[in-house]
Structures are given as C-alpha cells and as structure tokens.
C-alpha cells in the first residue's frame, strides 16, 4: 500500500506497512502525525475490536498521565 493510502478496509497505514508490522515489530520511532494522518474523527473514537481501546481513548489516557506527571515535577 503506498504512503497515505488506505488498505481497502478504511485504515491508512504509513508507507505500505501492515498492521502486524506496526504492532509486533520494534521500531525506534514512528512519526505520530504520519501514523494518524488519514485517521478521521469517527475512526479515532471507534474501538478496532471488542475489548480494545480506541485511538482517542489511548491518546486521552497518555495526555492525562503526562499532565499528571508534569504537574508533580
């Protein structure tokens, strides 16, 4: 899949990477904006599967704890 194109199921993956590669393989850094570039608001709030968290939920969780930690430094 070329950069910025969807995989046919409405999910955009950067530079032809498969979801398995993104989740299981170890990378030093993946640019967050590129990872989320094609993500719509509706996709962000929808969990990908039952008992999984949405992207929006994960981002809110990370922001909460980062804010909590920085307030204590």
Tokens of 67: 């804010």
Share of the chain above pLDDT 70, in %: 62
Region 25-41: mean pLDDT is: 77
Tokens of 24: 């299981």
- Is the per-residue pLDDT at 58 higher than 70? yes
Residue reference for tokens 């194109």 = 5
Q: What is the pLDDT of residue 34?
A: 78
Does the pTM exceed 0.85? no
Whole-number Å distance between alpha carbons of 66 and 50 = 27
- Cβ atoms of 4 and 38 within 8 Å: the answer is yes
Q: What is the pLDDT of residue 66?
A: 92
pLDDT-derived band at 7 (thresholds 50, 70, 90) equals very low
Report whether pLDDT(22) > 70: no
């Amino acid at each position: 899949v070329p950069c910025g194109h969807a995989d046919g199921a409405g999910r955009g993956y950067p530079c032809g990477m498969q979801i398995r590669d993104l989740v299981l393989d170890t990378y030093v850094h993946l640019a967050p904006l590129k990872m989320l570039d094609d993500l719509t608001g509706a996709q962000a709030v929808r969990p990908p599967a039952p008992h999984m968290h949405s992207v929006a939920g994960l981002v809110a969780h990370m922001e909460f704890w980062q804010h909590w930690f920085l307030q204590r430094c």
